[in-house]
Structure 1
Amino acid sequence: MSQFRLNSSVLTLARRGFLFGTLALLAGWSQAQQVFRVTAIPDESPTELARKAAPLMKYLESQLGVKMEFTPVTDYAAAVEALVNKKVDLAWFGGFTFVQAHVRSGGKVLPLVQREEDTKFRSVFISSDPLIKSLADLKGKDVSFGSQSSTSGHLMPRSFVLQAGMNPDKDFRRVAYSGAHDATIAAVAAGKVQAGALNISVWEKFVAEKKVDTERVKVFFTTPAYFDYNWTVHADMPAAQREKISKAFLSLSRDDAQGKEILELQRATRFLPSQVDNYKGIEAAARSAGLL
């Protein structure tokens, strides 16, 4: 009887060993097949977002050792929900979108890095009407913002209009939302609205690439600086993984061909560490404007 019990125990252990070994192999296979998903707020056209993402995904794949997948979303809210619900691992947010995700997740998202430009970001107001020379001249006019959730295309421009003593919803003849910065330029250039607000980075890109006639469409107001875009992860991501991602971005340099290409597409001089406290001003502006 004791011999039977011993053999049964050995058999049970063997079965368990086989099971654990199989699970370990499956776990290893799963890890090997891991896909790291990245998304970005759709503040430009889908083709432009894809063009900017391609070399960055290739670089991150080599640095992190996992398959990268860029997952586009239809609007800003979808980007927030994707990260909050862990449908993606890394998200490119504007300052306001980050604040929305931070509030929506109960403080469970963390900004890892931001471009040097994002520590002193600005918005511009543009117009093709020569009579519009200041924010006060927008009274009674049709004005376009970008997305309602855009920091540089809506929240901060709105906050500076409010500081100038006007309420867009009462003092503008019509408030339009184009959905993206490049669409705002197009709306102003086509005369669909008399003025529009967008981020200075997209404006400067359009000017440099001669995609806008600056004899017709001009900047008449540039906002003071504020913190804006960042790359954000969920706080549940292991610290070692967060550090690896941060290191990859912080290591990008214009001194080598790959880094130069990526930084130019991201319209960045370099990336710097970011932190939650950088966005307290954005949160205060959002609450003051009744947008949060």
Structure 2
Amino acid sequence: MVLNSIRKLAAASLLLLASSATVSAQTLVFTAIPDEDETKLVERFRGIADYLEEKLEVDVRYVPVKSYAAAVSAFRNNQVQLAWFGGLSGVQARSLVPGSQAIAQGVEDQAFNSYFIAHKSTGLEESENLPQELRGKTFTFGSKGSTSGRLIPEYYIREAFNEAPQDVFSRVGFSGNHTKTLRLVESGTYDVGAINYSVWTKELENGNIDTDAVKVIWTTPSYPNYQWTIRGDVDERFGDGFMQRVQEALLSMEDKELLNSFPRSGFIPVSNDAYKPIEVVGKQIGIID
């Protein structure tokens, strides 16, 4: 299922391939899942490219993609060698590229959460358990390939109702990213949605949420999420020890502006094994074959 969807969206990576065709063999190219508005991502990751270029003393280029599947496809096809993935997309990418490694995660990614948010018209209030009153409401996930915006929320919906989301809700949608989920619920286009807690927190701190219109009604248990994943063949391309150098550069990042743009307080070492729970859940609900 996952491989088919990635193949279907491989065409979305053709533009990326064309734009990368002139990149030198000694250029480290990286991408990131499009979990927020593109303008925010471009600003964040151009800063990361400049930082890594200075630390690694090689050319570094950030290339945006239009979908989670396109990010995975670009990694598989060696159009990018490094990527900022969510938990699910990282598992998918590493399964397609033998030897690839998760090398760093945000401090906050050890125990991540998703928020269920609701429009005021629903009358739903914050609860310790997923409210049964969700039944019959309209609901939007984020991207189909999102860990925090789809995988984990769907798992807990199925656990609470013993039914698939399309059987619980009157209408189910996929917004494409967390920012859009917030706006769709805030406007009342959907009654309820699932959003990455860090996006909610950042938007709230920046005064970008109408708290009279939308509120958090439930928080999922914690799970491992975002991480930097690198291809296993980078040492062959860039020289012995390059993977370790990239990891060390990420772990030593102290620029507050860069870290706040994620937002993360810092990066810590991680391994593929940390994301085994994501793989298990993905298989349980049929997102991973």
> Shorter-chain TM-score category?
0.7 to 0.9
Q: For 1:235, what is the secondary structure of its paired residue?
A: coil
2 CA distance for matches of 1:195 and 1:214? 14
Distance 2:190 2:73 in 1: 31
How far residue 68 of structure 1 moved from its aligned partner, in angstroms, is: 1.4
Other-structure match for 2:29? 37
Partner AA of 2:102 in structure 1:
P
Counting only pairs closer than 5 Å after superposition, residues 225-264 of structure 1 correspond to structure 2 as 225-238=222-235, 240-253=241-254, 259-264=255-260
Q: Following the alignment from structure 2 to structure 1, what is the Cα–Cα distance between the partners of residues 135 and 76?
A: 39
Aligned to 1:87: 79
* Residue 118, structure 1, aligned to residue 109, structure 2: yes
Instruction: String of CA shifts for 1:52-111, please: whole Å, max 9, x gaps.
Output: 112211110100111111101110011001111111111010000011112233x43211
Matched, 1:193 2:185: no
SS at match of 1:144: strand
User: Aligned Cα RMSD in Å?
Assistant: 1.7
TM-score (norm 1): 0.84
**Given that residues 122 and 191 in structure 2 are in contact (C-alpha distance below 8 angstroms), is that contact kept between their aligned partners in structure 1?**
no
Aligned residues between the structures: 257
Please give the TM-score of this superposition, normalised by the length of structure 2.
Answer: 0.85
Contact 2:85 2:228 in 1 (8 A): yes
Corresponding residue SS for 1:196: strand
One-letter amino acid of the structure 2 residue matched with residue 225 of structure 1? S
Residue 163 (1) aligns with residue 159 (2): yes
3-state DSSP of counterpart to 1:108: coil
Select the residue among 244, 269, 273 that pairs with 2:269.
273
Shift of 1:211: 0.6
What fraction of aligned residue pairs are identical, expressed as a percent? Answer: 38
Question: Which of these residues, 131, 138, 155, is aligned with residue 135 of structure 1?
Answer: 131
C-alpha separation in 2, matches of 1:74 and 1:205: 22
Q: Indicate conservation of the 8 Å contact 1:96/1:286, yes or no.
A: yes
Superposition deviation, residue 132 in structure 1: 2.5
One-letter identity of the residue aligned with 2:195:
L
Distance 1:196 1:232, change over 3 A: same
Displacement, 1:162?
Answer: 1.3
68, 75, 100: which one aligns with 1:109: 100
Question: Which structure has the larger Rg?
Answer: 1
CA contact (8 A) 1:144 1:196 kept: yes
Instruction: Report the CA distance shift for 1:203/1:31 in structure 2 as closer, same or farther (over 3 A).
Output: closer
Alpha-carbon distance in structure 2 between the residues aligned to 1:97 and 1:32: 27
Q: Deviations over 1:245-266 (max 9, x none)?
A: 011111122xxxxx11111112
Deviation of the 1:32 alpha carbon: 8.3
Distance 1:267 1:205 in 2: 7
Matched to 2:159, the amino acid is Q
- Report the Cα distance in structure 2 between the residues aligned to 1:81 and 1:272, rounded to whole angstroms: 26
2:16 matched to which residue of 1?
none
The answer for the alignment partner of 1:24 in structure 2 is none
AA aligned opposite 1:59: Y
Distance across 2 between alignment mates of 1:51 and 1:282: 29
Tell me, what secondary structure is at the counterpart of 1:164?
Answer: helix
Contact 2:187/2:213, CA 8 A, preserved across alignment: no
Give the Cα separation in 2 of the matches to 1:130 and 1:172: 13
- 1:6 is aligned to none
Is residue 68 of structure 2 the alignment partner of residue 76 of structure 1? yes
Alignment-derived partner of residue 181 in structure 2: 184
Give, in whole Å, the separation in 2 of the partners of 1:55 and 1:278.
27
Question: Which 4+ stretches in 1 moved above 4 angstroms?
Answer: 30-33
Is residue 2:219 matched to residue 1:222? yes
Task: Report SS of the residue matched to 1:248.
Answer: helix
In the TM superposition, what is the alpha-carbon distance from 1:34 to its structure 2 partner?
2.3
> Compared with structure 1, are the counterparts of its residues 98 and 260 closer, same or farther at alpha carbon in structure 2 (3 Å cutoff)?
same
Give the Å deviation of 1:33: 7.3
Residue 51 (structure 1) aligned with residue 52 (structure 2): no
